[in-house]
Amino acid sequence: MHYVSTRGTAPVLNFEETMLAGLARDGGLYVPQSWPVLSFETIASFAGKSYEQVAQAVIAPYLAETYDAATLERLIRDAYAHFEHPARAPLIQIGNNEWVMELHRGGTLAFKDFAMKLIGQMFEETLTRRGERVTIIGATSGDTGSAAIEAFRGLDAVDVFILFPHGRVSEVQRRQMTTPADANVHALAIEGSFDDCQALVKAMFNDHAFRDAQKLAAVNSINWARVLAQVVYYFTAAVSLGAPHRKVSFSVPTGNFGDIFAGWVAKQMGLPIDRLIIATNENDILHRCLSTGEYAVSGVKRTSAPSMDIQVSSNFERALFDAYGRDASAIRGLMESLKQSGAFTLSETALATLREDFDSARVSEDEVSHTIRDVHHAAHYLLDTHSAIGVHAARQRRASGELDPSVPMICLGCAHAAKFPDAVAAATGIRPALPPALADLLEREERMQVLPNDLAALQSHISGKTES
Ligand SMILES: *Cc1c(COP(=O)(O)O)cnc(C)c1O
């Protein structure tokens, strides 16, 4: 399989090059040249198979020239070996024909582990084979950084440096980054905001001498390999509720559009998905876009679901590329307009195409809290704030009468309630406990470097660590 940029002018790459590159050189995102389709019989054969076996069948068509079957099997096995549940992504029924897919059974209690763990294994395999090392650098407001550290800790071919705003992440999130003792892991508390951290990362990538000397790499949410890993659980969930013999729908708490785009990919591959619901919090740019055709950036609001406090949804560009019939010049036009004026307007055809697959709903802070309380009351199940947004959006869309009630609704359970204990306690009166593997997290020794918001100081710190 080869990969092309949504903006049409970057070189065509194979899987391995796409994974290592992250963003395309023309500013676009890489997508496969075509969508592989699995036959009805192949999808039906997933019934009763393990998560790992399904992953192999779903992922292989995208990278067969990079990893042979035995290698891929080992990478997948090692990626998910330490997940807490044998099903990896188990389903819990919380209502009438309504389910939560728990994606928080990996090491850091959020769905990002599914993608990071696999990409960690793939990086290690590829770099070892090439005799190379890289320095992974990322900025985080919480979940992405801990998932990257958990995935890359202890690997030989990678150093990982994660920048986070000093004093502005939750204690659980901070400790997940500062307690791994592995020598290749570096948690950097920057005296600044998340935006400052992102700006520092960007500046390091733009400093080409530093970038080349350190062999910088990024594993942010636009990396195709991360999206690909997330396609798998749409198949396992749908098949366990009767696909491909019946349709299912998904409701997906959405920030950067990575997770829901993986669902759309599953549909292109032949999985019978009826609706994909884009569930947003009060940062509702995508809901407004689906409702009006106008994609217009406004200020970011802080909510109780911080991993969705995003204005520009990077991966949406991938959906737009197909909605515009893969016309890269149209995408360049939209992105230019976004840069110039903070907005673009979808063509009628593109909007109609998106609406064939996607529904959307916006969920307010009050509704998040009420949903956590209601689900706890009715089903004795504790949702985190992000997952509650998916459940509420699903209920709102179903109440409209526009969705077929006989189609099972699967709401993505994005994080464990214990990751956002204050909001959950405020809604239910119950303070969720950390799962056993993390029960002593608050007692573990922390290790982090506090650094000023200063590029030169940061670069010399990183160079010092990678030379030793
Ligand atoms: C990252 C994240 C999201 C948003 O996912 P996208 O792929 O960016 O749309 C939602 N909830 C949680 C808990 C997350 O960590």
283 ligand 1 Cβ < 6 A: no
Q: How confident is the model at residue 275 (pLDDT cuts 50, 70, 90)?
A: very high
Q: Annotated catalytic sites, by residue?
A: 112
CA 254 vs CA 26, 125, 237: distances in Å: 25, 31, 18
What CATH number matches the domain at 91-108+225-428, 3.30.2130.30, 3.30.360.10, 3.30.70.330, 3.40.50.1100?
Answer: 3.40.50.1100
- Going from the Cα of 442 to the center of ligand 1, the distance in angstroms, rounded, reads 24
Least reliable range by pLDDT among 24-28, 65-69, 80-84, 331-335: 24-28
258 ligand 1 Cβ < 6 A: yes
pLDDT at 227 over 70: yes
CA 20 vs CA 13, 73, 124, 132, 218: distances in Å: 10, 20, 11, 12, 8
318 ligand 1 Cβ < 6 A: no
Q: How confident is the model at residue 304 (pLDDT cuts 50, 70, 90)?
A: very high
Q: Bridge-partner residues for 158, per DSSP?
A: 134
The whole-number average pLDDT for the span 127-144 is 90
221 ligand 1 Cβ < 6 A: yes
Per-residue pLDDT, 42:
98
Q: How confident is the model at residue 199 (pLDDT cuts 50, 70, 90)?
A: confident
Q: Distance (Å, rounded) from C-alpha 183 to C-alpha 153?
A: 8
252 Cα nearest atom in ligand 1: 9
Best residue for ligand 1 mutational test, from 176, 251, 256, 358 (most atoms within 8 Å of Cβ): 256
Per-residue pLDDT, 22:
83
280 ligand 1 Cβ < 6 A: no
Per-residue pLDDT, 468:
58
256 ligand 1 Cβ < 6 A: yes
The whole-number average pLDDT for the span 388-407 is 97
415 ligand 1 Cβ < 6 A: yes
CA 325 vs CA 321, 328, 350: distances in Å: 7, 9, 8
The whole-number average pLDDT for the span 289-302 is 93
pLDDT at 173 over 90: no
Q: Smallest Cα–Cα separation from 317: which of 63, 12, 111, 27?
A: 27
pLDDT tens digits, residue range 342-374? 999 999 999 999 999 999 999 999 999 999 999
- Joined together, the tokens standing for residue 1 give 């399989």
pLDDT tens digits, residue range 423-445? 999 999 999 999 998 999 999 99
The whole-number average pLDDT for the span 226-250 is 98
pLDDT at 142 over 90: no
- Going from the Cα of 311 to the center of ligand 1, the distance in angstroms, rounded, reads 13
254 ligand 1 Cβ < 6 A: yes
Best residue for ligand 1 mutational test, from 101, 143, 233, 411 (most atoms within 8 Å of Cβ): 143
Of the chain, the percentage scoring pLDDT greater than 90 comes to 86
Q: What is the pTM of this model?
A: 0.95
Per-residue pLDDT, 71:
98
- Going from the Cα of 70 to the center of ligand 1, the distance in angstroms, rounded, reads 31
- Going from the Cα of 466 to the center of ligand 1, the distance in angstroms, rounded, reads 31
Domain boundaries, the chain: 91-108+225-428
Per-residue pLDDT, 306:
87
Per-residue pLDDT, 300:
84
Best residue for ligand 1 mutational test, from 103, 105, 109, 111 (most atoms within 8 Å of Cβ): 111
Q: Distance (Å, rounded) from C-alpha 285 to C-alpha 280?
A: 8
Per-residue pLDDT, 152:
95
308 ligand 1 Cβ < 6 A: yes
Q: How confident is the model at residue 219 (pLDDT cuts 50, 70, 90)?
A: confident
The whole-number average pLDDT for the span 33-61 is 98
The whole-number average pLDDT for the span 179-208 is 91
Lookup result for tokens 């997948």: 76
Q: H/E/C letters for each residue in the chain? A: CEEEECCCCCCCEEHHHHHHHCCCCCCCCEEECCCCCCCHHHHHCCCCCCHHHHHHHHHHHHHCCCCCHHHHHHHHHHHHCCCCCCCCCCEEEEECCEEEEECCCCCCCECHHHHHHHHHHHHHHHHHHHCCCEEEEEECCCHHHHHHHHHHCCCCCEEEEEEEECCCCCHHHHHHHHCCCCCCEEEEEEECCHHHHHHHHHHHHHCHHHHHHHCEECCCCCCHHHHHHHHHHHHHHHHHCCCCCCCEEEEEECCCCHHHHHHHHHHHCCCCEEEEEEEECCCCHHHHHHHHCEEECCCCCCCCCHHHCCCCCCCHHHHHHHHCCCCHHHHHHHHHHHHHHCEEECCHHHHHHHHHHEEEEECCHHHHHHHHHHHHHHHCCCCCHHHHHHHHHHHHHHHCCCCCCCCCEEEEECECHHHCHHHHHHHHCCCCCCCHHHCCHHHCCCCCEEEECCHHHHHHHHHHHHHC
257 Cα nearest atom in ligand 1: 9
| Average pLDDT, rounded, for the chain | 95
- Going from the Cα of 104 to the center of ligand 1, the distance in angstroms, rounded, reads 12
pLDDT at 171 over 90: no
pLDDT at 65 over 80: yes
Best residue for ligand 1 mutational test, from 414, 419, 420 (most atoms within 8 Å of Cβ): 414
Per-residue pLDDT, 141:
78
Q: Distance (Å, rounded) from C-alpha 220 to C-alpha 167?
A: 22
CA 285, 324, 281: angle at the middle one, nearest 5? 15
